[in-house]
């Protein structure tokens, strides 16, 4: 089975390392780049052929800016947000920017790796309490 090539972008070194360790341990993911901000997202994806980006929201050039820049690529990678915030407007903005997965730090459980694989296959997963409302609002805009 071919590994999913992943770029991890998070300004928190400990979080970046933890995500990379977990993903590498599964055998399903190849972590091809780790970034401390979003400025190198596009070149990293282009140079590595990554098909999945795990993106922190609250970092320089991350969040909506980073997700939108990635969606302009052809082919665009799957973008999954992993963040400490779950406020409604942030979720809606990220959905509008093309994010297909949204996970809140501190609540990542045993199913996180499986959820990432599902996102990589095209499923949309919003792991937060008000996901339905956020999705409805994003679709209404």
> Model confidence over 25-54: pLDDT tens digits?
999 999 999 999 999 999 999 999 999 999
The strand order across the sheet containing 4-9 reads 29-35, 4-9, 52-55, 78-83, 101-104, 125-127
Domain boundaries, the chain: 4-140
Collapsing DSSP states into helix, strand and coil, what is residue 111?
A: coil
Beta bridge partners of 33: 7
- Fold (topology level) of 4-140: Rossmann fold (3.40.50)
The pLDDT tens digits for 101-110 are 999 887 777 7
C-beta separation of 43 from 69 below 8 A: no
Answer yes or no: are the C-beta atoms of 38 and 55 closer than 8 Å. yes
Confidence of residue 118 (pLDDT cuts 50, 70, 90): very high
Taking only the tens place, the pLDDT of each residue in 10-20 is 999 999 999 99
């Amino acid at each position: 089975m071919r590994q999913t090539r992943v770029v991890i972008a998070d300004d928190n070194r400990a979080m970046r390392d933890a995500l990379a360790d977990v993903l590498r341990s599964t055998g399903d993911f190849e972590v091809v780049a780790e970034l401390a901000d979003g400025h190198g997202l596009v070149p990293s994806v282009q140079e590595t052929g990554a098909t999945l980006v795990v993106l922190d929201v609250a970092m320089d050039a991350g969040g909506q800016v980073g997700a939108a820049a990635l969606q302009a690529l052809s082919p665009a990678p799957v973008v999954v947000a992993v963040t400490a915030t779950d406020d409604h407007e942030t979720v809606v903005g990220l959905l509008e920017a093309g994010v297909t997965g949204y996970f809140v730090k501190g609540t990542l459980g045993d199913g996180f790796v499986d959820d990432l694989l599902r996102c990589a296959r095209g499923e949309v997963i919003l792991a937060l309490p008000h996901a339905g409302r956020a999705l409805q609002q994003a679709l209404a805009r």
